[in-house]
Every structure is written in structure tokens, then in C-alpha cells.
């Protein structure tokens, strides 16, 4: 069997680390071509020593020099590159068979698009690429013939619950709606009046999932679910009114697909990102992921709630941006990144995150986005409006 060569964008994050865990279980199937990291150079060095990629990529030249020295001391042939162009280079390289797109936020857009334009098999964990540039992104997918496989547990669950020959036609396959499940985060049952004093540590303490700080805050505000609604719209060609969010605190059902005959198909499993990662890596086959079997007797019960939009105004803002279309989702995403960063730095109270995002949506006029420069302009405008709202 020819081994599949992987580039992992965002290797030192939680998704990247989980991907390498799955890959290490199947050395006969996979080899690592390139690893990229942002600020955790020592962690990236450790990964390179273990997985021996041909390339490693970091943001800046001084970090590249530091990493290259350490790898040479370990007698590794890995070549270290620096900068955004290097990210695009390893994502589109002819030697790469598949790209795990796991860079968090807008920073992942360019290299993910580079992989798509090169016709790669793209394992998409960077939801912001579709949120910011859905129309541009999907047009490039159609043009290049790239294969996009969703890694977010919710979208991967929808993908698994749709017919194998789905092809983007909900009506033709008898699909009525998609139901994305949400845990509700750490504040689902906390009295709203107590949320004013929420700290970053509390917001990052997710009850079920182990995630990075930014996505953990997004889960606490449910902006993460709002972004996933936008992502589902583009991935599956679903109109906004055919995508519903269901709070499911146990995080055992990862999403559901409802059909016109009354059937509802769901994908279940323990809350472990190695399951969707392994599914996408091996698709259409199945491989061992290192995930414990689901014990339904231990779970005992599954409960469901409607989202409270007064408690989770960010979800309402995401629906507003999707309805407006054009540049609004890119503005939403940019403003959210600014607001969450300010909250994590202690410069913004938790309850003001939604206010800053709403102010940015109000400030930036809705305008068409037909290419990448327009997407990046919308991102810049959203960041500027959010920064103004922080003052």
C-alpha cells in the first residue's frame, strides 16, 4: 500500500496533535510531509523529531533559525521555512496528498485555499475559511476538483448521516433539515446575571471537549455554533431555514439529519476529535482511532434543549450575518476574533463580546465579495470596526 503524504497546518494545536496521534497508529498508511506551527516552537520541534517531516513551517525567520538549529542537533533532514508564503507552499506542494487545515481563525484562509486550488484532499477543521469566503472557497473547490472532508465533529456527523451519493442535493436525497448539536458550553445553566464576572479560565473550562482557548470561548458564547451553521450552509448547500441548532449537553450525538419520510439519522460517539479525524483520513474506509467505545449504559440518558438566544446572543448574530450574506459573515468572524482576544487578555468583559460583534456588523455596510481581495477587505473592515467598539 502506498502511504498517504500529509501536510498538517496547525500541527501544535489540539486538532493537529490528535491528527498526529491517529497517524502514528498507522505508519503503514501515512507519512508526514510537512508540519506547521505558530508560537509553540518547542512543541513543533518535538513533533518533527518524532514524525520526521520533510518541511516544518513557522511564522518568522528568527523562529525558523531556532527550530532549524534544534533539528540539526537531532540530525534531522527536515527543512525549516518561514512565513505565509511557506504555508501556501507546503499546502499546495505536488508531494502532498492530503492537507489537514487546522489553523485557527482567519490566518488559515490563504493556505487552505492554496490546498483547494491545488486539487488536494482537504480535511477541513478551519471553519473560518468557509465562514469568511464561502462562495469563493466553494467555487475554487468546483474548479479544481478538490475533495473537502469536514473535521468539525458536527459537520463530520452530518456527512456520515447523509447518503454516500449525496452530491449537494438535499431535495433530491429526501433531506428535510440538518440538526447541529451543541453542548451549551460551561454556562448553559448558569444564571445570566452571574455571567458578567466570567473569567477567561472559566470560559475555557469546557465540560466535554478538550480544545484551544479561542474555540473554547466560542463554545461558551455559542458563536462556535453560529459559525458552524454558516459552514454547514456552504458545505451541504442547505438554506439557513433548514439548519437547526439543538443543545445536547452529553455531547454524544454529534449531529442529525432529518429526512422527509420521518427518519432521523444520527452519528454517535464519545467526544473525541480523533473519531472525525480518522474518518476523514481513511474515507471511505474506517480505521482504528484510539477512541474508547461508546458505553450507552454509562451515558444512561440523552437530553435536548432549544438554544436560549437571550443567553447566547452570538448565535443570533451569526444567523443575522448568514441572512445578510455577502461580506457580513467575514465581518462577523473578524469582529469575533478581536473581541475574544480582548476578553482573553482581560480587556473586555465576557458579556460585551456580543456587543462588540454587533457593533461591527452595524458599522460595516453589506457589500458583495467575489474574490479573495474582497474577502480580506471585509476581514480588515470587521477588525477595524471591532477595535473601534472596544474603545
CATH number at residue 113: 3.40.50.720
Q: Is residue 308 part of a domain?
A: no
Evaluate if residue 348 carries a pLDDT over 90: yes
| Alpha-carbon gap, residue 11 to 347, rounded angstroms | 29
Beta bridge partners of 79: 55
Among 193-207, 285-299, 359-373, where is mean pLDDT lowest? 193-207
| Alpha-carbon gap, residue 304 to 80, rounded angstroms | 48
| Cα torsion through 218, 378, 308, 352, rounded to 10 | 70
Q: Is residue 359 part of a domain?
A: no
| Alpha-carbon gap, residue 24 to 216, rounded angstroms | 26
- pLDDT-based confidence at residue 209 (cuts at 50, 70, 90): low
Residues whose CB is less than 8 angstroms from the CB of residue 352 and which lie 6 or more positions away in sequence, other chains included: 339, 343
| Alpha-carbon gap, residue 288 to 103, rounded angstroms | 25
DSSP 8-state symbol, 211: -
Q: Is residue 88 part of a domain?
A: yes
Q: Is residue 363 part of a domain?
A: no
Q: What is the pLDDT of residues 241-291, one digit of tens each?
A: 999 999 999 999 999 999 999 999 999 999 999 999 999 999 999 999 999
Radius of gyration of the chain from Cα atoms?
20
Q: What is the pLDDT of residues 152-165, one digit of tens each?
A: 999 999 999 999 88
Q: Is residue 271 part of a domain?
A: no
Number of domains in the chain: 1
Q: Is residue 287 part of a domain?
A: no
Question: 54: how many CB neighbours lie within 10 A of its CB?
Answer: 18
- Per DSSP bridges, beta strands 175-182 and 243-247 are parallel
Rounded to the nearest 5 degrees, what angle is found at the Cα of 179, between the Cα atoms of 110 and 256? 100
Q: Is residue 31 part of a domain?
A: yes
Residues whose CB is less than 8 angstroms from the CB of residue 328 and which lie 6 or more positions away in sequence, other chains included: 320, 321, 322, 361, 364, 366
Residues whose CB is less than 8 angstroms from the CB of residue 76 and which lie 6 or more positions away in sequence, other chains included: 48, 49, 52
Q: What is the pLDDT of residues 116-130, one digit of tens each?
A: 999 999 999 988 899
Are 326 and 368 in contact, with CB atoms under 8 Å apart?
Answer: yes
Q: For position 208, what pLDDT does the model report? A: 67
Domain that holds residue 59: 4-150
Among 161-165, 200-204, 222-226, where is mean pLDDT lowest? 200-204
Q: Is residue 121 part of a domain?
A: yes
- Per DSSP bridges, beta strands 98-101 and 79-82 are unpaired
| Alpha-carbon gap, residue 321 to 148, rounded angstroms | 24
H or E stretch including 315?
helix 313-324
Amino acid at each position: 500500500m502506498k502511504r498517504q503524504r500529509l501536510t498538517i497546518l496547525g500541527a501544535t494545536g489540539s486538532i493537529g496533535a490528535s491528527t498526529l496521534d491517529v497517524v502514528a497508529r498507522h505508519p503503514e498508511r501515512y507519512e508526514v510531509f510537512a508540519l506547521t506551527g505558530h508560537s509553540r516552537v518547542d512543541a513543533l520541534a518535538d513533533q518533527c523529531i518524532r514524525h520526521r517531516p520533510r518541511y516544518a513551517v513557522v511564522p518568522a525567520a528568527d523562529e525558523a533559525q531556532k527550530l532549524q538549529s534544534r533539528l540539526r542537533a537531532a540530525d534531522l533532514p527536515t527543512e525549516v521555512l518561514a512565513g505565509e508564503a511557506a504555508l501556501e507552499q507546503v499546502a499546495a506542494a505536488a508531494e502532498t496528498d492530503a492537507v489537514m487545515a487546522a489553523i485557527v481563525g482567519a490566518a488559515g484562509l490563504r493556505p487552505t485555499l492554496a490546498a483547494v486550488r491545488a486539487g488536494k484532499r482537504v480535511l477541513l477543521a478551519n471553519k473560518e475559511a468557509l465562514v469568511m469566503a464561502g462562495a469563493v472557497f466553494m467555487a475554487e473547490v468546483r474548479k479544481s476538483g478538490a475533495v473537502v472532508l469536514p473535521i468539525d465533529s458536527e459537520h463530520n456527523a452530518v456527512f456520515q448521516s447523509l447518503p454516500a451519493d449525496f452530491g449537494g442535493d438535499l431535495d433530491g436525497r429526501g433531506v428535510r433539515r440538518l440538526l447541529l448539536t451543541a453542548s451549551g458550553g460551561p454556562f448553559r445553566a448558569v444564571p445570566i446575571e452571574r455571567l458578567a464576572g466570567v473569567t477567561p479560565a472559566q470560559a475555557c473550562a469546557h465540560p466535554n471537549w478538550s480544545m484551544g482557548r479561542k474555540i473554547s470561548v466560542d463554545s461558551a458564547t455559542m458563536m462556535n455554533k453560529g459559525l458552524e451553521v454558516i459552514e454547514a450552509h456552504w458545505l451541504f448547500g442547505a438554506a439557513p431555514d433548514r439548519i437547526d441548532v439543538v443543545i445536547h449537553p452529553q455531547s454524544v450525538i454529534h449531529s442529525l439529519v432529518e429526512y422527509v419520510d420521518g427518519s432521523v439519522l444520527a452519528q454517535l460517539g464519545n467526544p473525541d476529535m480523533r473519531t472525525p479525524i480518522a474518518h476523514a483520513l481513511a474515507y471511505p474506509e474506517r480505521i482504528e482511532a484510539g477512541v474508547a467505545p461508546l458505553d450507552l449504559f454509562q451515558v444512561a440518558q440523552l437530553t435536548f434543549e432549544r438554544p436560549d438566544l437571550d443567553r447566547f446572543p452570538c448565535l443570533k448574530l451569526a444567523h443575522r450575518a448568514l441572512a445578510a450574506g455577502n461580506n457580513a459573515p467575514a465581518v462577523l468572524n473578524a469582529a469575533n476574533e478581536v473581541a475574544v482576544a480582548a476578553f482573553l487578555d482581560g480587556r473586555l468583559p465576557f458579556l460585551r463580546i456580543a456587543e462588540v460583534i454587533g457593533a461591527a456588523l452595524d458599522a460595516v455596510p453589506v457589500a458583495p465579495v467575489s474574490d479573495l481581495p474582497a474577502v480580506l477587505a471585509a476581514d480588515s473592515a470587521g477588525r477595524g470596526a471591532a477595535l473601534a467598539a472596544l474603545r
